[in-house]
Structures are given as structure tokens and as C-alpha cells.
Amino acid sequence: MAGLVSLLSVVAAGGSSAASATAGACQLQGVANLNPGLSSTSQPFAYSFSGSLTSCQSTVAGAPASGTVSAGIQIPETVTLTNTTTGTTTTGTVQYQEPTPTGSGTCGNSSTSGQSLSQWADGTATVVGYTTNGAAAAVALQGTVQPAMTLTVVASSVPAGFSAPATFTISTTRFAPNDAAAAALTFSPTTQAQDCVTTPVTSANINGVVSID
């Protein structure tokens, strides 16, 4: 289950290319949902994650002190909708699916990879591609800031009689592509019944500090 903490990649708010300019840290708190749940038997799994970034500190003047982070979830976006009968257009809000992170392993040892999105309080965004390796409740994440994330439209969210763009792109506007990201978190099942033996862990609380080197 350690690998699931990979979501922390979302924090990727820093880069090795200018460590002195981007040094900082954020408090991360969120929940991960895994399918299938982690158990004592190694198997592949997918997961989603969403959480908050708070108490952020940075040596960069004006850097936001908070934000949100997510991986593998659906988010609403306002796009141009086309009437499939008349061809006229309007604007509307539909759901777009972030890339789904995947991994393999057990509650004791796992590895994952994926792409996360941090949306900061000042309206900027950071996309991070990452991999994780973990044991028990501790996980090490390494990643790099990427130029953008491409999301896929959720067909069921498009109003009847209209079509929407098949994809939606969110570009990185805070930190530079290829900047390095690193983090370490701890996790705990959201219920005591999820013991990894008789009951797989399908949801877990994620807490920790994301450091920016």
C-alpha cells in the first residue's frame, strides 16, 4: 500500500534546476481510493487521489500558500459544446478524466507511476510525472514537472444533443518542465476493518510534508 502514496507526487512544486529559488514545503492531506484494494497478495491496481496542500512555505516571493492536488479523478471544465443537429455552439461544463495512476504490489511493498495535478490558490497549475517505491507506510517519490496533462471527456457528462471536445489540456504554469520533485508521506486505512489480510485496503488517508529541494 505504500506505493499508493505516490499521489503525493502531486506536490511536485519544486525543481532541482533552481533549488535555491524553489526551496519550500507544503502540508499534504488527502484520501486515496484503490481498485482493487491492496492486500497481502501482490497484484496490479489502479487508484485515484485528491487532497489539499496547506501551510506552503517558499523562498519565492508571492508563491501561493495553499492549493489542491489530484490524480486519476474527474474534474469539471467549461468548454465549447456543439449542437449535433444545428451545428450551433454554446458553452457548458462537462467532466474530464485525469490519467489514471497504476501500480502493483501488496500492503507491505508496492510501486506506482502516474501523473498528478496541483492547482494553486493563485490560479496556476503544476503537472508532475512520477514513480514511487515504498515499504509499509513510508514511500519515496521521484518525479519531474511536465509541460501539460491531457484529460479525456466523460461522455456521460455531455448534455444530450451536444458534443464536446474529446480532450482537455491543462498546462503547467508554475515551475519549469523537467524540474525535479520529491516527497515522502505516510498513510493509514480510512477504517480499521481494512487490515490487508481479511479485508483489502480500498481507501486510505494520506498525510505528510512535501518538501521542495
CATH number of 11's domain? 2.40.128
pLDDT of residue 24: 60
Q: Classify residue 84: in a domain, yes or no.
A: no
- Residue 14 in any domain: the answer is yes
What is the per-residue DSSP string for 30-42?
EEEEEEEEE-SS-
In a domain, 56, yes or no: yes
Average pLDDT of span 24-29: 82
With beta carbons less than 8 A apart as the criterion, state whether 106 and 132 touch. Answer: no
For residue 209, pLDDT over 50 is answered with yes
What is the residue range of 191's domain?
A: 2-73+102-142+177-212
Residue 121: inside a domain: yes
Report, as an integer, the average pLDDT of 49-76: 91
By three-state DSSP, how is residue 78 classified? strand
Residue 181 has pLDDT above 70, yes or no: yes
> Which of 16-30, 80-94, 119-133 has the lowest average pLDDT?
16-30
- Residue 85 in domain: no
Q: Is the peptide bond before 36 cis (omega within 30 degrees of 0)?
A: yes
> Does any domain span residue 123?
yes
Partners of residue 71 on adjacent β-strands = 49
Predicted confidence (pLDDT) at residue 15 exceeds the cutoff of 50: no
pLDDT (0 to 100) of residue 36: 97
Task: Using alpha carbons only, give the angle 160, 164, 170 rounded to the nearest 5 degrees.
Answer: 140
Q: CA angle 125-182-194, nearest 5°?
A: 95
- Cα dihedral value 155, 118, 205, 135, nearest 10: 110
| Mean confidence (pLDDT) of the chain | 86
d(CA 205, CA 18): 32
Quick: pLDDT tens for 27-50: 889 999 999 999 999 999 999 999
The most distant pair of C-alpha atoms in the chain lies apart, rounded to whole Å, by 57
**Secondary structure E strands in the chain:** 24-38, 43-58, 67-71, 74-83, 89-97, 102-105, 109-120, 125-135, 138-146, 148-153, 162-163, 167-171, 180-189, 201-212
Instruction: Dump pLDDT digits (tens) for 129-148.
Output: 998 877 777 877 788 899 99
Is residue 160, in this structure, part of any structural domain at all? no
The total number of structural domains in the chain stands at 1
Residue 91 lies in a domain: no
pLDDT reported for residue 211: 66
